[in-house]
């Protein structure tokens, strides 16, 4: 009996030893940008076939898919994940406009080119067109639970990825640290994404050193290598037409030394058909096709998978897949313990906490955490805003910030059928990033040029005081019902002291003192009866402004509202106007976007201006006309159908609606109607003059700004008008 037991024990131990000696399978995923979506299709088939994955090595997009798979995202989850992403946003430096501070909203989509400056002196060329902030935030969200410095070899599936050290050009194998940072490093395409600083290394896309790292998989301990290669074949001369194609070709050249040898290390080599797709093929249709092609390529090698299972000791029906339970995948909210902020001083740390709305020992959703990160990054004060969570049930949150220079050189350009060409130049110098003084010099070259100097001090994005001087030369034609009456030229000098508060998100409050001097040079009248009464004179005024705005875009918004009100009290000596009572002006506006369908929206708005007092001077009269408000005079109200600048009575109220239909991704057909009431007295406005107007426009949201072609007509001047614009408004 004892002999029988000994034999059974021996057989059990031998069987257990054989099971323990099962050959290990390594999965290697190449780089390829968007083409890496094919990896997901291959993973679907591997799961269906029951192939065990014991090690994963990847480069660039292969590191992203591989890293997430290693911590529990199965092929189905990855499929859903890659399809739902807003790739144009992720692969950009954009911040949703809702998350921008008001000072940045006012500059948003105004300058065509903005170049940072080092210390306010030299021009700084960015190390990459894309900082990688948005994609890194996504990686951080997806890898919660793996933000601490961990060994990737201890992940549920041991994992390594490849980057390249830009300092010496050598390959760097990343197998420990912060998982999100490792993935971000591996896909930092040189010249496109900013490199990642890690210790003494400057890391970029691993594709330039080892784009298909089967040797890394072997070194990890894999006996069998399944390699999925989505790299492109070398292109011919006539196929190198875009920057992406050229970068893709350079990456292929640089990694060529190891590429052929690494293919030979594969036991199963899978090469999906990725023609004609490129590293930038992130559209929904492209992603869908690439996933299907990966699945098709893997399914064509089904017999090889079955043979592999037999080779490693599994039956065809035996499932060798590991089941990974990653609770963090289901996490949509967090309990925060302590918050640590690195990269700023103690005074700035308090500002960061206030601006982000974060506090110790609080409850926060993942969405709110990412909004806080976006708000900080949107200030423009930081090169990056990263975060790490440590702990299990209660997480300590660490924000890692890197301040950047707020000094910049900015350039804007516009061409239209009214002023012809206009150029806007701006240079901004900042003493410190988050607080201290800021000096801004702005000049516009156009038919009505100006120069503006602003010196401000205080907190950059909360409360500030500013001193402003502006000189403007005006050459204005005044019309009456479409007939030219006057041409007026004059110089305008303006000095202001303003106090602003933008502490509340999407709100701006301003109180200020202003002095304006108007030096009239000449008046050319069509007739003596139309002569404008004006003399050189100066005015002291007090003004207050409140503005709330949540549009997602400055041009062609799809959601949001804007509510604005401003009051100004005008005097000649600070107390009186011409030894009498001061006069005042009240401006207000409301605008909204009402989406009806995905393509059709209605944009209602209401605005107006009321002058209170007698003998209003020429400089502050109500003006209306044109498509763009404030073009010639700051108080100018737009009105579709009135083609030129015209004067109106003391009370003007306008209702307007746009009916906008989007064609394709960024073409628009727009029908516009507006109706105005005009009268000298506010309380008699219902009996005032009726003005009707409308127009049709075609618009294109281009890379260099909006392109608009507008035809309009009104009952006021009864002439068909035409307007063309190219570029941002300023």
3-state secondary structure at position 257: helix
Least confident range from 6-15, 339-348, 499-508: namely 6-15
- What is 50-113 written as a DSSP string? T----EEEEETHHHHHHHHHHTT--HHHHHHHHHHS-HHHHTS----GGGS-HHHHHHTTT-SE
Q: Which residues contact 573 (CB under 8 A, 6 or more apart)?
A: 540
Is pLDDT of 119 > 80? no
Q: Which residues contact 727 (CB under 8 A, 6 or more apart)?
A: 112, 412, 413, 414, 415, 416, 704, 705, 706
Is pLDDT of 138 > 90? yes
Is pLDDT of 527 > 80? no
CB atoms within 10 A of CB 526: 15
N residues, the chain = 730
Indicate the helix (H) or strand (E) that contains 582: none
pLDDT at 529: 60
Residue among 74, 205, 587, 717 flagged as catalytic: 205
- The superfamily in CATH containing domain 333-403 is membrane protein fhac (3.10.20.310)
pLDDT at 721: 94
Between 319 and 389, the more confident residue is 389
Average pLDDT for 3-9: 44
Average pLDDT, the chain: 88
Q: What is the pLDDT of residues 538-596, one digit of tens each?
A: 999 999 999 999 999 999 999 999 999 999 999 999 899 988 899 999 999 999 999 99
Residue among 30, 60, 194, 568 flagged as catalytic: 60
Is pLDDT of 316 > 70? yes
pTM of the model: 0.79
Between 115 and 156, the more confident residue is 156
CB atoms within 10 A of CB 691: 20
3-state secondary structure at position 555: coil
Q: Which residues contact 569 (CB under 8 A, 6 or more apart)?
A: 541, 542, 543, 582, 583, 584
Q: Which of 430-434, 445-449, 602-606, 631-635 has the highest mean pLDDT?
A: 602-606
pLDDT at 10: 43
Nearest to 689 by CA among 642, 725, 722: 642
Is pLDDT of 237 > 60? yes
Is pLDDT of 343 > 50? yes
The span from the CA of 406 to the CA of 435, in Å, is 11
Q: Which residues contact 20 (CB under 8 A, 6 or more apart)?
A: none
User: 451-727 sits in which CATH class?
Assistant: mainly beta
Is pLDDT of 378 > 60? yes
Nearest to 598 by CA among 524, 532, 662, 682: 662
The span from the CA of 366 to the CA of 328, in Å, is 11
Least confident range from 45-49, 66-70, 458-462: namely 458-462
3-state secondary structure at position 320: coil
Average pLDDT for 12-29: 66
pLDDT at 644: 92
Per domain, the residue ranges of the chain are 28-93+153-312, 333-403, 451-727
Q: How far apart are the first and last CA of the chain?
A: 98
Percentage of residues of the chain with pLDDT beyond 90: 60
Q: How many CA atoms lie within 13 A of 554 on its CB side?
A: 17
pLDDT at 513: 97
Between 116 and 273, the more confident residue is 273
Nearest to 425 by CA among 440, 408, 438, 442: 442
**Which pairing describes strands 268-270 and 224-228: parallel, antiparallel, or unpaired?**
parallel
Q: What is the pLDDT of residues 289-311, one digit of tens each?
A: 999 999 999 999 999 999 998 88
Is pLDDT of 19 > 50? no
Instruction: Check if 148 is active-site.
Output: no
Domain pair 28-93+153-312 / 451-727, same fold: no
Indicate the helix (H) or strand (E) that contains 13: helix 2-20
Task: Round the CA-based radius of gyration of the chain to a whole number and report it.
Answer: 32
Between 662 and 108, the more confident residue is 662
Q: What is the pLDDT of residues 619-647, one digit of tens each?
A: 999 999 999 999 899 999 999 999 999 99
Q: What is the DSSP letter of 23?
A: P
The span from the CA of 628 to the CA of 446, in Å, is 16
Cβ proximity of 430 and 118 under 8 Å: no
CATH T-level topology, domain 28-93+153-312: Cytosolic phospholipase A2 catalytic domain (3.40.1090)
Nearest to 690 by CA among 616, 724, 728, 639: 639
The span from the CA of 259 to the CA of 213, in Å, is 8
Between 468 and 98, the more confident residue is 468
**Which pairing describes strands 25-29 and 224-228: parallel, antiparallel, or unpaired?**
parallel
Instruction: Check if 281 is active-site.
Output: no
How does 14-39 read in b/e, with b if 16+ C-beta sit within 10 Å?
Answer: eeeeeeeeeebbbbbbbbbbbbbbbb
């Amino acid at each position: 009996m004892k002999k029988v037991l000994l034999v059974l024990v021996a057989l059990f131990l031998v069987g257990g030893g054989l099971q323990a000696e099962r050959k290990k399978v390594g999965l290697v995923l190449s780089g390829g940008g968007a083409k890496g979506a094919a990896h997901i299709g291959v993973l679907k088939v591997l799961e269906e076939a029951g192939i065990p994955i014991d090690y994963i090595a990847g480069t660039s997009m292969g590191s992203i898919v591989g890293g997430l798979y290693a911590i529990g995202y199965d092929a189905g989850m990855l499929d859903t994940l890659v399809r739902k992403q807003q790739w144009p946003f992720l692969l950009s430096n954009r911040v949703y406009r809702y998350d921008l501070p008001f000072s940045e909203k006012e500059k948003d989509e105004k300058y065509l080119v903005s170049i940072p400056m080092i210390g306010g002196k030299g021009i700084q060329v960015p190390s990459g067109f894309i900082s990688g902030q948005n994609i890194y935030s996504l990686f951080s969200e997806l890898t919660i639970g793996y933000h601490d410095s961990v060994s990737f070899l201890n992940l549920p599936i041991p994992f390594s990825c490849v980057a390249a050290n830009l300092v010496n050009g050598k390959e760097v194998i990343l197998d420990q640290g912060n998982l999100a940072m490792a993935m971000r490093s591996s896909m930092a395409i040189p010249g496109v994404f900013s490199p990642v600083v890690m210790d003494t290394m400057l890391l970029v896309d691993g594709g330039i050193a080892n784009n298909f790292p089967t040797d890394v998989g072997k070194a990890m301990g894999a006996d069998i290598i399944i390699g999925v290669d989505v790299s492109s074949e070398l292109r011919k001369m006539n196929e190198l037409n875009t920057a992406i194609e050229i970068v893709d070709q350079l990456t292929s050249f640089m990694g060529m030394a190891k590429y052929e040898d690494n293919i030979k290390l594969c036991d199963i080599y899978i090469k999906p058909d990725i023609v004609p797709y490129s590293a930038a093929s992130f559209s929904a249709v492209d992603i869908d096709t690439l996933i299907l092609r990966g699945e098709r390529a893997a399914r064509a090698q089904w017999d090889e998978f079955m043979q592999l299972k037999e080779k490693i000791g599994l039956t065809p029906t035996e499932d060798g897949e590991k089941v990974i339970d990653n609770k963090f995948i289901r996490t949509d909210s967090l309990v925060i313990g302590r918050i640590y902020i690195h990269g700023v001083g103690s005074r700035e740390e308090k500002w960061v906490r206030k601006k982000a709305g974060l506090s110790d020992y609080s409850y926060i959703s993942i969405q709110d955490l990412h909004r806080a990160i976006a708000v900080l990054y949107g200030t423009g004060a930081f090169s990056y805003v990263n975060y790490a969570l440590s702990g299990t049930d209660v997480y300590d949150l660490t924000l890692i910030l890197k301040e950047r220079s707020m000094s910049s050189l900015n350039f804007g350009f516009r061409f239209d059928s009214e002023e012809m060409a206009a150029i806007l130049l701006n240079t901004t110098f900042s003493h410190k990033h988050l607080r201290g003084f800021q000096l801004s010099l702005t000049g516009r070259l156009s038919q009505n040029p100006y120069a503006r100097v602003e010196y401000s001090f205080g907190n950059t994005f909360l409360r500030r005081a500013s001193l402003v001087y502006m000189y403007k030369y005006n050459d204005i034609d005044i019309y009456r019902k479409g007939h030219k009456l006057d041409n007026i030229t004059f110089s305008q000098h303006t000095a202001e002291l303003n106090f602003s508060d933008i502490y509340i998100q999407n709100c701006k409050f301003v109180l200020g003192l202003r002095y304006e001097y108007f030096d009239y040079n000449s008046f050319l009248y069509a007739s003596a009866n139309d002569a404008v009464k004006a003399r050189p004179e100066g005015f002291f005024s007090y003004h207050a402004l409140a503005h709330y705005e949540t549009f997602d875009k400055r041009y062609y918004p799809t959601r949001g509202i804007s509510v604005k009100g401003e009051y100004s009290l005008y005097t000649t000596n600070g107390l009186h106007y011409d030894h009498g009572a001061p006069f005042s002006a009240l401006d207000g506006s409301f605008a909204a976007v009402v989406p009806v369908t995905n393509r059709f929206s209605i944009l209602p708005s209401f605005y107006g201006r009321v002058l209170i007092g007698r003998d209003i001077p020429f400089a502050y009269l109500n003006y209306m006309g044109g498509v763009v408000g404030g073009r010639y005079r700051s108080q100018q109200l737009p009105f579709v159908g009135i083609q030129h600048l015209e004067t109106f009575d003391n009370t003007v109220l306008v209702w307007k609606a746009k009916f906008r239909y989007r064609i394709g991704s960024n073409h628009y057909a727009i029908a516009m109607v507006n109706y105005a009431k005009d009268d000298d007295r506010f309380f008699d406005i219902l009996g005032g003059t009726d003005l009707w107007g409308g127009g049709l426009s075609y618009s294109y949201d281009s890379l260099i700004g909006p392109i608009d072609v507008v035809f309009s007509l009104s009952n006021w001047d009864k002439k068909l008008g035409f307007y063309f614009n190219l570029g941002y408004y300023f």
